[in-house]
Amino acid sequence: MLWLQIVQYAGFFFAQITNSVLVYLIITKAGKLFGSYRHVMCVFAMYSLIYSWIEVLTQPVMHIKGQVFIVYMDSPLKPYKWIGMEITCIFRKVIEKNDSNFSDLYCGLFALVISLLAAQFFYRYVAICRPDTLSRFSGFKLGLIFIPCIICFFLWYEFVFYGMANTVEKQEFMKEELRTIYNEDSETVPFIAPHVLVNRFKWCEEMENSRLPISGWSVCFSTILYCAFNIYWTMKKSQDHMSARTLELNHQLFVTLTFQTVLPFCMMYSPVGLLMTFPLFEVYVGKIANYVC
C-alpha cells in the first residue's frame, strides 16, 4: 500500500508539471501554427490536470474476489463521505439514496479520456481529409466536437452510480477480505463494485445498464481507428501536393496523437478490461489488481 501511494503521488506531481508546461507552450508558442487545433490540445491538457487531481483525491485501490470487482477510496478524504455527496450535487439537483463518492467521478473521468482522444482524431481528420468543412468548427463552433465527450462522461457516471452501487450484500461479501488485507471496514469505506453472476456467463441485473456506455466506448475506439486510417492514407497520397513543412508538421502531429492514444490503451483500458473479465470465471486476483493503477 505504501508503494501504491508513492506511485500515485509521484504520478500526480509529474502530471501537474508536464501538463502545466504543455498548456504554457500551447498558449505562448503555438500561435497560428496549429490553428484551432491548439484549443483542442489545450482542452485535453487542462482535462489531464483535473483528472490527476481527482485521482489523487480518490487514490483508488482495486481488489477482486470471486464475482466481485471492488474499487474503494483510500485517500485522506475517505472518512468524509459528504464531500463525495457534494460532488454528486454538481450533476444532480437532489441527493438520492445511493451512496456516492469520488470513485464515481473518477470512473466518469476515466471514460472521458478516450472520448477526448477521439475528438482530437476527429479534428485532425477534418483538417486533413475534409479541409473544406473545417470552417464549420471555427470560433465557438469548435465546442461542438466536445458534446459527444460530455455525453460519454455522463453515461459512464450514471452507469457507475447505479450499476456499481455500494450495497449491503457487497459489504458483507468483502468484509473479511478488506479487513484482513487492507484493515478497512467495508461498511464505512466508500467503494463501488460490479457484481458478476457466473451462470452461463450472464451479467446480473445491475450490469444490464452497462450496454449503453460500453457501446459509447466502442464508438470512440471505432472513431479513432477510422480517422487514423483515413488521415494516414490522405497524407500518403498528398505528398506531392503539400509543402515539405506542412507535410512534416502533419506527420509529427499524427505520430504524437497516435502515441498519446496507444499508451492509455495499453496501460489503462486493456488491463482494466482484462480485470473486468476475471470475475466471470471467478479467478481470484486479490490485491494484484492494483498493478494497473
pLDDT at 201: 43
Residues 115-151 as b or e (16 or more Cβ within 10 Å = b): bbbbbbbbbbbbbbeeeeeeeebeeeebeebeebbee
* Average pLDDT of every residue of the chain: 81
Q: Which residue has the higher pLDDT, 85 or 39?
A: 39
The third-level CATH classification (topology) of the domain covering 1-292 is Rhopdopsin 7-helix transmembrane proteins (1.20.1070)
Q: How far is CA 218 from CA 196, 223, 225, 269, in A?
A: 21, 9, 11, 12
Q: Which residue has the higher pLDDT, 2 or 94?
A: 2
Q: Which residue has the higher pLDDT, 61 or 292?
A: 61
pTM for the predicted model, two decimal places: 0.81
Report the percentage of the chain scoring pLDDT > 90: 29
Q: Where are the domains of the chain?
A: 1-292
Phi and psi at residue 130, to the nearest 5° = -135, 60
Any idea which residue has 452461463 for its cell?
A: 200
Q: What is the pLDDT of residues 243-285, one digit of tens each?
A: 888 888 889 999 999 999 998 888 887 887 788 778 777 788 8
H or E element, residue 191: strand 191-192
* Residue 189 neighbours by CB under 8 Å, 6+ apart: 72, 73, 78, 178
Q: What is the pLDDT of residues 198-237, one digit of tens each?
A: 544 444 444 444 555 566 678 888 999 999 999 999 998 8
Segments of 31-167 assigned E as strands: 60-65, 68-73
68 sits in the region (left: phi over 0; alpha: psi -120 to 50; else beta) called: beta
Reply yes or no on whether the pLDDT at 68 is more than 90.
Answer: no
Q: How far is CA 27 from CA 39, 240, 251, in A?
A: 9, 32, 22
Q: Which amino acid is at 181?
A: I
pLDDT at 194: 76
Q: How far is CA 80 from CA 94, 164, 182, 250, 273, in A?
A: 19, 20, 19, 48, 30
How many Cβ atoms sit within 10 Å of the Cβ of residue 279? 22
Q: Which residue has the higher pLDDT, 173 or 87?
A: 173
- pLDDT category of residue 80 using cuts at 50, 70 and 90: low
